[in-house]
């Protein structure tokens, strides 16, 4: 009996995932020392990654250029500082350029505006009301707007809206939200009682809430162990979701991670949205750590279809318990779970037992066969670690344990300045003959909503047209185990035609509205048998 090739492909991956291992993946050290801790990271449309930590930690390990210094009488560590606390990483040249940030960006947030600028908000001390703008160009630096925010924003979350504005939600002691850019009609902040209701006294457990734009234009907001669907225009809660069944918190400092799973059926049929929340720490873990007892992290994930009439959480068990893990959407629609520890909570020296092995989650596999353990790193990535997807399909990894004055001695996990990349198994050379290469459109093409686009690509080996899809991934702002604005849309697949020797075409239609894809830059990939091409940049507007 000869098995259908599609069925055989599915069964092979199902068996491997069910075994909980055998995934693979490769690690590479990119830079031994980038000078700062990669506490926050954002990929921009010029393939450069803006990285920053905080300004009140004294001298970093990289100097500002041309003898420049930052003079800040409000700085709690060093009033005159000639070192950089932000850098730009050039993916193509594997090089670092120091940047000048003037006010404290510690535990801040951000998102990319429709025109490609990074709009970064809040922080600590003299940075808590500041909006900072970074333009993607070869010699740009930070521009700062001192009173850009109405409220202090520290540990807040940002989400790009369908009209291109961003909403900034919460932060420590801030049970409210505001918008940027400001207009006369929305220049103030607005109360959000849900944030007060989910705050555990003296612990929080609801900072950096997980926020996702749903298909109807409302916001899914998860904090602590609860979630709502929120209409930010009318300032009303549209619906309350069931509490996470185990009742355990999943937000800072009991830090898990959350992701909006790939969105499909964009042009017809049922248009749903699902959220996956994984890891974290049990109730009272923070209090236990303060008292010297380190509690094991959670090994569970909750998955919920937020567009169902009666949504329920479906609980799954990860092969490895994890707190402070990051979840990264891969171009083929799978989810990489990476970084973190197996014991404790987020915070300096509050985590133990680094989890060096990433895990890939296959959303389309049956429950019980979705996790696949990957090859380990040798570098612990604990508190203040970061992870972002690059256009070539690798995942950039940095940060961990930013100690005062960049302390490298006398601590369990020293300040970590190394930058590395994880290459999922789809980048293995054995898959080169299956890997698509996009010929057209050219990178940085502008597209409209609901526009038909023909993508031409080559594949050196034989092509199974039924296993070709086109995906579009938004670059995310990553910090504290959450990737803000991360979303993946499956534009279509299957209708592949031959247009020459080893050359093929597939026609897809872009998302129909900003509810599905807020305006801005996305990475577009052709995926063949789970093997993605290198992406191209597209700007939807």
The percentage of the chain sitting over the pLDDT mark of 90, rounded to a whole number, equals 88
Mean pLDDT score, 470-498: 96
Per residue in 328-352, pLDDT (tens digit) is 999 999 999 999 999 999 998 899 9
Q: What count of residues does the chain have?
A: 541
Q: Is 367 a residue whose pLDDT tops 90?
A: yes
Does the 27-427 domain belong in CATH 2.60.120.590?
no
Average per-residue pLDDT for the chain:
94
pTM over 0.75: yes
Torsion of CA 18, 21, 22, 28, to 10 degrees: 140
Backbone angles phi, psi at 481, to 5 degrees: 70, 15
At residue 10, the pLDDT reads 47
Q: Is 195 a residue whose pLDDT tops 90?
A: yes
The percentage of the chain sitting over the pLDDT mark of 70, rounded to a whole number, equals 96
Per DSSP, the three-state class of 13 is: helix
Mean pLDDT score, 358-367: 97
Is residue 12 very low, low, confident or very high in pLDDT (cuts 50, 70, 90)?
Answer: very low
Q: Is 297 a residue whose pLDDT tops 90?
A: yes
Task: Give dist(CA 74, CA 29) in Å, integer.
Answer: 37
At residue 2, the pLDDT reads 41
Task: Give dist(CA 434, CA 186) in Å, integer.
Answer: 50
SS (H, E, C) 291-347: CCCCCECCCEEEEEECCCCCCCCEEEECCCCCECCEEEECCCCCEEEECCEEEECCC
Structure tokens at 262: 């790939």
Q: Give the architecture (CATH level 2) of 434-540.
A: Sandwich (2.60)
Task: Give dist(CA 121, CA 101) in Å, integer.
Answer: 12
Is residue 184 very low, low, confident or very high in pLDDT (cuts 50, 70, 90)?
Answer: confident
Q: Where are the domains of the chain?
A: 27-427, 434-540
Could you tell me if 265 and 489 are in contact, meaning their C-beta atoms sit under 8 angstroms apart?
no
Q: Is 8 a residue whose pLDDT tops 90?
A: no
Weakest mean pLDDT among 175-179, 307-311, 318-322, 402-406: 402-406
Backbone angles phi, psi at 378, to 5 degrees: -105, 0
Structure tokens at 340: 């973190």
Task: Give dist(CA 269, CA 443) in Å, integer.
Answer: 30
At residue 187, the pLDDT reads 85
At residue 404, the pLDDT reads 83
At residue 406, the pLDDT reads 86
At residue 7, the pLDDT reads 45
Is residue 268 very low, low, confident or very high in pLDDT (cuts 50, 70, 90)?
Answer: confident
Per residue in 388-432, pLDDT (tens digit) is 999 999 999 999 988 888 878 888 898 999 999 999 999 999 999
Mean pLDDT score, 306-335: 98
Asked if domains 27-427 and 434-540 share a fold, the reply is no
Is residue 22 very low, low, confident or very high in pLDDT (cuts 50, 70, 90)?
Answer: low
Is residue 21 very low, low, confident or very high in pLDDT (cuts 50, 70, 90)?
Answer: very low
Q: Is 18 a residue whose pLDDT tops 60?
A: no
Task: Give dist(CA 225, CA 284) in Å, integer.
Answer: 13
Is residue 528 very low, low, confident or very high in pLDDT (cuts 50, 70, 90)?
Answer: very high
Q: Is 16 a residue whose pLDDT tops 60?
A: no
Backbone angles phi, psi at 483, to 5 degrees: -105, 100
Q: Is 64 a residue whose pLDDT tops 60?
A: yes
Is residue 254 very low, low, confident or very high in pLDDT (cuts 50, 70, 90)?
Answer: very high
């Amino acid at each position: 009996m000869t098995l259908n090739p599609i069925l055989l492909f599915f069964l092979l991956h199902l068996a491997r995932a069910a075994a909980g291992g055998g995934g693979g993946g490769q690690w590479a050290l990119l830079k031994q020392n980038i000078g700062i801790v990669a506490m926050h990271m954002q990929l921009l449309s010029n393939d450069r990654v803006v990285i920053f930590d905080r300004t009140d930690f004294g001298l970093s390990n990289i100097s500002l250029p041309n003898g420049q210094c930052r003079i800040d009488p409000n700085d709690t560590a060093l009033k005159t500082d000639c070192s950089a606390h932000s850098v730009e990483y050039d993916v193509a040249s594997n090089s670092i350029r120091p940047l000048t940030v003037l006010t404290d960006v510690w535990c801040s947030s951000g998102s990319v505006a429709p025109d490609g600028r990074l709009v970064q908000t809040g922080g600590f001390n003299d940075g808590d009301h500041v909006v900072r703008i970074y333009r993607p160009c070869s010699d740009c630096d930070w521009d700062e707007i001192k009173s850009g925010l109405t409220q202090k924003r520290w540990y807040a979350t940002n989400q790009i809206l369908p009209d291109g504005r961003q909403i900034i939600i919460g932060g420590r002691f801030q049970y409210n939200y505001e918008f940027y850019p400001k207009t006369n009609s929305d220049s103030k902040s607005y109360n959000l009682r849900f944030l007060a209701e989910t705050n555990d006294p003296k612990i929080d457990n609801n900072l950096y809430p997980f926020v996702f734009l749903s298909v109807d234009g409302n916001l899914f907001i998860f904090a602590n162990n609860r979630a709502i669907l929120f209409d930010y225009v009318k300032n009303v809660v549209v619906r309350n979701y069931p509490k996470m069944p185990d009742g355990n918190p999943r937000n800072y400092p009991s830090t898990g991670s959350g992701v909006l799973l790939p969105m499909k059926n964009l042009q017809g049929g049922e248009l749903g949205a699902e959220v996956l929340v994984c890891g974290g720490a049990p109730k009272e873990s923070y209090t236990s750590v303060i008292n010297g007892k380190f509690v094991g992290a959670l090994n569970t994930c909750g998955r919920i279809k937020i567009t169902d009439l009666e949504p329920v959480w479906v609980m799954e068990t990860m092969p490895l318990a994890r707190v402070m893990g990051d979840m990264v959407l891969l171009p083929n629609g799978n989810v990489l779970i990476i970084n973190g520890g197996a014991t404790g909570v987020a915070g300096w020296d509050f985590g133990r037992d680094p989890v060096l092995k990433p895990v890939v989650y296959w959303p389309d596999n049956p429950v019980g066969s979705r996790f696949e353990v990957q090859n380990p790193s040798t570098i612990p990535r604990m508190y203040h670690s970061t992870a972002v997807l690059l256009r070539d399909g690798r995942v950039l990894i940095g940060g961990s344990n930013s100690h005062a004055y960049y302390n490298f001695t006398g601590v369990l996990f020293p300040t970590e300045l190394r930058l590395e990349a994880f290459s999922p198994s789809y980048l293995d050379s054995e898959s080169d003959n299956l890997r698509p290469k996009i010929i057209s459109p050219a990178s940085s093409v502008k597209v409209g909503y609901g526009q038909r686009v023909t993508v031409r690509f080559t594949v050196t080996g034989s092509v199974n047209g039924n296993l070709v899809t086109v995906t579009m991934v938004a670059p995310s702002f990553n910090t504290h185990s959450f990737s803000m604005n991360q979303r993946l849309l499956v534009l279509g697949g299957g209708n592949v035609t031959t247009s020459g020797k080893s050359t093929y075409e597939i026609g897809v239609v872009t998302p129909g509205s900003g509810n599905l894809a807020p305006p801005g830059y996305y990475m577009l990939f052709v995926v063949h048998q789970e093997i993605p091409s290198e992406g191209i940049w597209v700007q939807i507007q």
